[in-house]
Amino acid sequence: MAAPAPGSFPPIDFEHYHRTELPGLLAAGRGALVAKAARSLAPLALRIGAGSAFTYRPAARGVEISAGDAGAETVIELDAGDWQGLVHELEAAAGLLYAGRVRCARGKPMDFMAWEPALRALYQGRPPYDAAEAANLRDRHGRPLDPETAFAPASDREDMAHFLRTAGYLFQRGVFDREEIQGFLAESEELRAEARKGDKLSWWGKDGEGRELLCRVTRAASKPHLASLRSDPRIQALVELSDLRLVPTLGEGNGVTVIWKQPGVAEGMGDLPWHRDCGLGGHAAMCPTLVCSVFLTEASPETGELIFLPASWQSACVQAVHAGDPDAPRGGAHFRARPGDVSIHYSDTLHAAPPPARSDLEHYRTSAILSFARPDAYNHRGQQSYNAVLHERSDGQIEHLAVMAAKR
């Protein structure tokens, strides 16, 4: 599977696509896919600038598309190139909202996010996530697959490769020893001391009393031990479980990030809702990428965990829903990680990092993060990382999507 070359995406005529191509795609079977994702959504109109518009309305056979926006509850304005990017799966609603490349002319901008799975089903034929199917996953021997299986370095590699291929993530215990973890932690403390608000290489937040909290530093590869993770043979052995050839990426910062979970974050993005790592854009140009988390301290509901939605990596899922919300996905896989454990997941896998359940502990989750991609992957916007759109504030805080959307 190769990434399409830059410039290989053909132009699409907005009027012709809606009047001719989409009706054909709906009749050919995409209507059934869209019906699963759109049934409870409010009518949405997409308008190119101040000109042509089409309204998407849920219908029994999927979606009804009509010219104009008079019957739409929410109207989203964007330029022709960004709309074509949505069709080609280069752009994503969250990235367009963060970057201010859309304008909500009427209604609720977060309706654009709610429509994303239906639009992906409609434009690309990507099936919406089906929890019932995910509950019936099988291992390579045909037995029910436990989505919370914890493997060991000596586990059967075919079993692990099948699990990764099926679930979209994998958790392995005891990859690094205590001495190695202490070295990584020592360097993470150096990074903590060196971080500065507004350096665009760190993420900050505040608690309810206004105290500043450092949540992330993206320049961890400047430290020798943390930098060594990119070429560590144990990490490489996990990466080689993928069906694709993948190489280390620079990504945000310089290739390795350290994350500190903090209790009580009231401002900033210390806690992440359900999301996919390519949710800001670039899926067609770079995915699948593989993200690796090395746990430097315990990760649990109490200290801040990482939750994965099994078999979501090839589906269209709703993003920006917090783990505790009534509409949040159910059936996520939870792992009580210990220092030295490692997880890997495909970037399309829906996952969440909810806040720690306790606020009276001495230590919370600290993780080192790195990523791998195909050698031909590229950023279609010409940037090093799609996360560049997140750094808008001089105090280093990353705004929640709903806050940014309200400004559009």
Q: What are the tokens at 46?
A: 């997409």
- What percentage of the chain has pLDDT greater than the value 70? 100
Residues 238 and 208 in one domain: yes
- Give the whole-angstrom CA distance, residue 192 versus residue 185: 10
Domain residue limits at 206: 131-406
- Tell me if 7 is assigned to some domain: no
User: How far is residue 82's CA from residue 92's CA, in Å, rounded to a whole number?
Assistant: 9
In a domain, 117, yes or no: yes
In a domain, 230, yes or no: yes
Q: How high is the pLDDT of residue 95?
A: 96
In a domain, 399, yes or no: yes
Output the domain CATH number for residue 393.
2.60.120.620
CATH code of residue 98: 3.30.1050.10
Domain termination residue (choose one: 124, 159, 193):
124
Say yes or no: 188 and 331 in one domain: yes
Indicate whether 175 and 68 sit together in one domain: no
Task: Identify whether 87 is part of a domain.
Answer: yes
The answer on 168 and 45 residing in a single domain is: no
The pTM (predicted TM-score) of the whole model is 0.95
In this structure, the answer to whether residues 116 and 142 fall within a common structural domain is no
Nearest to 380 by CA among 286, 287, 248, 260: 286
Please state the separation of Cα 251 from the chain's center in Å. Answer: 14
The pLDDT score that the predictor gives to residue 408 is 80
Could you give the CA distance from residue 204 to residue 217 in angstroms, rounded to a whole number?
Answer: 9
Mean pLDDT of the chain: 95
- How confident is the model over 287-309, as a mean pLDDT? 97
User: Is residue 6 situated within a structural domain?
Assistant: no
Q: Which of 14, 182, 2 is nearest to 86 (CA)?
A: 14
Number of domains in the chain: 2
Q: Is residue 3 assigned to a domain?
A: no
Tell me, yes or no, whether 267 and 139 share the same domain. yes
Half-sphere exposure of 91 (CA within 13 A, CB side): 24
Residues 54 and 178 in one domain: no
8 Å CB contact between 101 and 120: no
Least confident of 46-50, 112-116, 122-126, 220-224: 46-50
Structure tokens that stand for 271 in this block: 């806690």
Q: Are residues 82 and 143 in the same domain?
A: no
Does 171 lie in the same domain as 35? no
Q: Are residues 221 and 86 both part of a single domain?
A: no
The distance from CA 144 to its chain's CA centroid, rounded to whole angstroms, is: 27
Asked whether the beta carbons of 340 and 248 are under 8 A apart, the reply is no
Residues 142 and 78 in one domain: no
Whether 151 and 96 share a structural domain: no
Domain stops at, among 66, 101, 124: 124
Residue 178 CB neighbour total at 10 angstroms? 9
CA-nearest of 353, 281, 351, 350 to 312 is: 350
Give pLDDT tens digits for 146-185: 999 999 999 999 999 999 999 999 999 999 999 999 999 9
Q: In this structure, are residues 76 and 109 in contact, taking their beta carbons and an 8 Å threshold? A: yes
6 band by pLDDT with thresholds 50, 70 and 90: confident
Cα–Cα distance measured from residue 167 to residue 332, given in angstroms and rounded to the nearest whole number:
11
Task: List the one residue out of 262, 266, 190, 261 whose CA is nearest residue 226.
Answer: 190
